[in-house]
């Protein structure tokens, strides 16, 4: 049976596309500024066989995936450290709360001076943006561990490392995955934004700049469509992985498995 939520989502998207097409055909908006949705979708189909655009997607995936991987590798262990050591958390919290609100995009000029590599500049700001959701969720997950479970294990003679490995980390793992999900979306947004602002020779953002210079608004929007598809696919994959790996947590939270 088809999930009712999926059906509602499909109907909603189809309705939005239909409204956009009607607005385009009505002549209210200049088609150069806002092309018809049918033209945008046709352009999106053409991009699938455009070697240059496929190369640009590869550039975006490299920065997006590489930055996200580095962020997870750095943030998860750091979150475990701060989440399991209250004194370290207390000492680091002012610095975390100061750095976390700083938009990663504003770091582009500074990073450009420090790194000559185009992908390195973009990946650095992606790492900075994606690091915080993973770090905060990991710390929160460790604080949310049932204290009774930890005390029970300690009463049987297990040390701090054993309690961390057997109780705290398994309990915090779903929160870490949630942090990765949030970071994935943020990383994609920052990747495209960095490509638009920092320039470069490849990437979906670079393709948008070239299309805009050629007054091809339809191709700009078509590239935007594929950006949304990438984000949706990544989020759906992580949601499914979360439900499969942590069914007990989904049931506990009141969700369906």
Domains and CATH numbers, the chain: 51-252 (1.10.3720.10)
Residues contacting 167, CB < 8 A, separation 6+: 145, 146, 149, 150, 153
**pTM of the entire predicted model:** 0.84
Q: State how far the Cα of 29 lies from the Cα of 109, in Å rounded to an integer.
A: 36
DSSP calls for 7-65: HHHHHHHHHHHHHHHHHHHHTSS-TTTS--HHHHHHHHHHHTT-HHHHHHHHHHHHHHH
The string over 181-202, giving b where at least 16 C-beta atoms fall within 10 Å of a residue's C-beta and e elsewhere, is: bbbbbbbbbbbbbbbbebebeb
End-to-end CA, the chain: 15
Instruction: Give the count of beta carbons closer than 10 Å to the beta carbon of residue 34.
Output: 16
pLDDT of residue 173: 86
SS3 255: coil
Q: How would you write 206-251 as a 3-class SS string?
A: HHHHHHHHCCCHHHHHHHHHHHHHHHHHHHHHHHHHHHHHCHHHHH
Residue 41: name the closest of 23, 20, 56 by CA: 20
Residues contacting 82, CB < 8 A, separation 6+: 88, 89, 92, 135, 139
Q: State how far the Cα of 122 lies from the Cα of 128, in Å rounded to an integer.
A: 10
pLDDT of residue 184: 95
Per-residue pLDDT of the chain (257 residues; tens, 9 = 90+): 456 766 777 777 777 777 777 776 776 776 667 788 888 888 889 998 889 999 999 999 999 999 999 999 999 999 988 888 888 888 888 888 898 888 888 888 888 888 777 778 899 999 999 999 999 999 988 887 777 777 777 777 777 777 777 777 888 888 999 999 999 999 999 999 998 887 777 889 999 999 888 888 889 999 999 999 999 999 989 988 888 877 755 545 555 44
pLDDT of residue 1: 45
- Residue 55 structure tokens: 């190369």
Q: State how far the Cα of 240 lies from the Cα of 204, in Å rounded to an integer.
A: 26
């Amino acid at each position: 049976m088809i999930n009712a939520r999926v059906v509602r989502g499909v109907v909603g998207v189809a309705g939005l596309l239909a409204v956009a097409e009607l607005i385009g055909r009505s002549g209210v908006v200049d088609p150069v500024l806002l092309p018809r949705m049918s033209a945008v979708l046709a352009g999106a189909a053409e991009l699938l066989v455009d070697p240059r655009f496929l190369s640009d997607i590869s550039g975006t995936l490299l920065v997006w995936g590489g930055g996200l991987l580095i962020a997870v590798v750095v943030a998860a262990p750091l979150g475990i450290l701060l989440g399991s050591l209250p004194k370290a958390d207390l000492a680091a919290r002012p610095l975390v709360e100061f750095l976390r609100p700083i938009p990663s995009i504003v770091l582009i000029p500074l990073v450009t001076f420090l790194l000559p590599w185009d992908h390195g500049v973009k990946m650095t700001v992606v790492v900075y943006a994606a690091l915080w959701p993973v770090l905060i969720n990991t710390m929160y997950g460790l604080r949310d561990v049932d204290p009774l479970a930890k005390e029970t294990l300690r009463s049987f003679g297990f040390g701090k490392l054993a309690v961390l490995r057997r109780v705290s980390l398994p309990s915090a793992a779903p929160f870490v995955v949630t942090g990765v999900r949030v970071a994935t979306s943020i990383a994609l947004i920052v990747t495209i934004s960095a490509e638009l602002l920092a320039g470069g020779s490849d990437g979906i953002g670079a393709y948008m700049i070239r299309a805009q210079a050629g007054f091809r608004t339809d191709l700009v929007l078509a590239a935007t469509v594929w950006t949304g598809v990438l984000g949706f696919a990544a989020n759906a994959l992580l949601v499914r992985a979360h439900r499969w790996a942590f069914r007990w947590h989904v049931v506990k939270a009141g969700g369906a498995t």
